[in-house]
Structure 1
């Protein structure tokens, strides 16, 4: 199978998981983030459960010379925490808290509930363009 096919299958699996888990529901996400109000802890179990297959994937990746559909692994080269990373995390968190959607669920919601998702996706694209312009 080629790289595009693997990416398509992975994207469909990820989107399906987001939809079934409730991570693509902005109300549920905002209730999860509302620690001192009407808190809904169910997404903590979703996120905790996601760590198990990811930990298994890390173990498998360390034993492989190359990925299934590419010539080499494309892993981050640094783990340094700097101002750019911290400010990006703050902006991500603010957008997630305000909209109830992070990038994956926002893209999935383009098919499920496009009204709010279109606004979030356009804002993400605007942020990516602004970052590219500012870092040149």
Structure 2
């Protein structure tokens, strides 16, 4: 049951990435090119993910997953060195 739910979640996530264009390297590179021909469409995709995630966090408060374990804690909203370095490395990998 757990593996089936994980496969379903992965397939849904992959489908969402494909439909939103996040698998197109030209589109992602265009988004990361701030000083050239910048493509803001992926910003809308990322922004559109905020609302469902906020609802998911609200619905999981005080509950446990159906397949055992615990839900992950909310991420720390502060920008720290590790987050910034990771973001720079990610961007450099695409660039």
TM normalised by structure 2 equals 0.81
Following the alignment from structure 1 to structure 2, what is the Cα–Cα distance between the partners of residues 86 and 35?
A: 17
Following the alignment from structure 2 to structure 1, what is the Cα–Cα distance between the partners of residues 73 and 2?
A: 16
Task: Give the structure with the higher percent helix.
Answer: 1
Higher normalized contact order (CA 8 Å, seq sep 6+, divided by chain length): 1
Following the alignment from structure 1 to structure 2, what is the Cα–Cα distance between the partners of residues 41 and 82?
A: 25
The residue that corresponds to 2:17 in the other structure is 18
Gaps of 5+ in 1: 99-136
Counterparts of residues 1-136 of structure 1 (less than 5 Å): 2-64=1-63, 66-75=64-73, 79=76, 83-95=81-93, 97-98=94-95
Residues 32 and 91, structure 2, Cα contact 8 Å, conserved in 1: no
Q: Secondary structure at the match of 1:54?
A: helix
Gaps of 5+ in 2: none
Residues 2 and 67, structure 2, Cα contact 8 Å, conserved in 1: yes
Following the alignment from structure 1 to structure 2, what is the Cα–Cα distance between the partners of residues 56 and 94?
A: 32
Following the alignment from structure 2 to structure 1, what is the Cα–Cα distance between the partners of residues 71 and 44?
A: 29
TM normalised by structure 1 equals 0.59
Q: Secondary structure at the match of 2:22?
A: coil
Question: How many pairs does the alignment contain?
Answer: 94
